[in-house]
Structure 1
Amino acid sequence: MLNYLNKVPKPIIIENIKEQLQIRLVQSLQNKEEILISYYRDGMVHDMYINVLHIEPMSRTIYCTDAFELNTEIKLNELINMH
């Protein structure tokens, strides 16, 4: 019940911000640098430090490792911000 109360609507991301996020992802992949991202999933906004391993353009998926070096997948349409 409480989880339902904490849910928020998905933020709207405009096209030029999406392009900037994608450029920053590619830079992170090329430079092997850790980045802090915010993504929207299941009605909640999550923050996570990641290292980008691969970006799959066909499935629009980011394959990465988190701060604990666990493999994680994030859809590009879930991504809302990078810090």
Structure 2
Amino acid sequence: FLGRLALLRIHQGNLKKGQTVAWMRRDGEVKNVRITELLITDGLERKPGEVAGPGDIVAIAGIPDITIGETLADPENPVA
């Protein structure tokens, strides 16, 4: 059981399993969270992966309260 999955498209940079990212919430709060699982979309299936890049559609686990409209960004330079 992975918990809540967030579906997202990567616009720039790379996303890695185990990476720490800045979670930019809709209320303006920014928290650092860790990606515990990365599932890469391949056709109609999701397959576990280690790294995803720009244009990839992925599902991530590890953020239990994430909702629609929130952003994941570089923790050193969080830009929505």
Q: TM-score range by the shorter chain?
A: 0.3 to 0.5
Q: TM-score normalized by structure 2? A: 0.38
Q: TM-score normalized by structure 1? A: 0.37
Give the structure with the higher percent helix.
1
Structure number with larger C-alpha Rg: 1
